[in-house]
Structure 1
């Protein structure tokens, strides 16, 4: 029985080598040729990560609220980023219009880019701001305060065809709701652009 042990040991050692077999390298992927025209470009994919990473490049048409008139599509006019929540992450302020009336929707920058979280209700929606039929011309965020510039109408103007007021709204997030801090109205004395 003793003489079979060395043979068995030799048989076991024969299968072992001092070098480990290296795995086969992964096949190399050849680069696809670049598209010839813009018509051949692939469709953009939904952004990953958080909203602050996507910022202005997210597909905002799919995230803003629909128009009250279901026959209309909301039109995204502008996207501005700035820290509204005070967490050090840029939030997204999306200006959109329906029937030449603008609103600003604010989305939390730390939310997932595929499903951004809207903060409170859209700014400029509902009375008294909506009665002025604002057409947003600019938005900025300074020290957490949102300043919205718009062309609009006097509240007692029934014609709604010729905005003659330059409006400046200021909002601040207090808790989970926006509070309007002030509204400045500078009558222009002439028709201003609205759409």
Structure 2
């Protein structure tokens, strides 16, 4: 059995980075597959491996949402794989940044060449956007998504430096993410720019 890099799979599958949007589906739309390591990439001759087989090695900047400012390219800050849907398959959480950060969650049972985004990106709510969060850490603990970020105080000048250390917690409830809590720890001084 011959394995090829994920980029080759994308070329064979005809994927492009031309701003295609990834459909959002319910986490109940899962296939029965077992999780595998990130080194077990799908074969180019038979594309169809699931996302869990590509994991952190996928070309994530191809799949995340584009920046609102079309002159900018999104930057992938961090990728974490963990079971968020509860189906026993590792899902992919991708922190991506433009002017601020969001976290997109992709269903691990979806096809590696066209992963399914679960619900809307985390940190994209109007309340979170006011803080202009910049992700500094991402983890999953007991099904909870914990996002650490530097951000602004609500009402702060958007051009001012970030001075608040934020911790967001989310959980998938049904097909939607629910924000469980937000901790705000003001530092009083400028945090390093992202």
TM-score, with length taken from structure 2 = 0.76
Higher RCO (CA < 8 A, seq sep 6+): 2
Residues 147-184 of structure 1 deviation map (CA, whole Å, 9 limit, x = unaligned): 00000000111243211100000000011100000000
Alignment correspondent of 2:141: 142
Alignment correspondent of 1:108: 107
Alignment correspondent of 2:129: 130
> 1:151, 1:194 within 8 Å by CA — same for their partners in 2?
no
Q: CA RMSD in A?
A: 1.4
CA distance in 2, matches of 1:167, 1:72: 25
Alignment correspondent of 1:45: 8
CA distance in 2, matches of 1:84, 1:166: 24
**Offset at 1:83?**
0.7
Where in structure 1 are there 5+ consecutive unaligned residues? 1-41
**Number of equivalences:** 153
Alignment correspondent of 2:116: 117
Alignment correspondent of 1:57: 57
Alignment correspondent of 2:85: 85
Determine helix, strand or coil for the equivalent of 1:166: strand
Alignment correspondent of 1:187: 186
Where in structure 2 are there 5+ consecutive unaligned residues? 10-40, 43-48
CA distance in 1, matches of 2:154, 2:6: 45
Residues 102-160 of structure 1 deviation map (CA, whole Å, 9 limit, x = unaligned): 00000000101000000000000131001100000000001110000000000111243
CA distance in 2, matches of 1:115, 1:97: 21
TM-score, with length taken from structure 1 = 0.75
> 1:172, 1:179 within 8 Å by CA — same for their partners in 2?
yes
Superposition misfits of 4+ residues, deviation over 2 angstroms: none
> 1:153, 1:163 within 8 Å by CA — same for their partners in 2?
yes
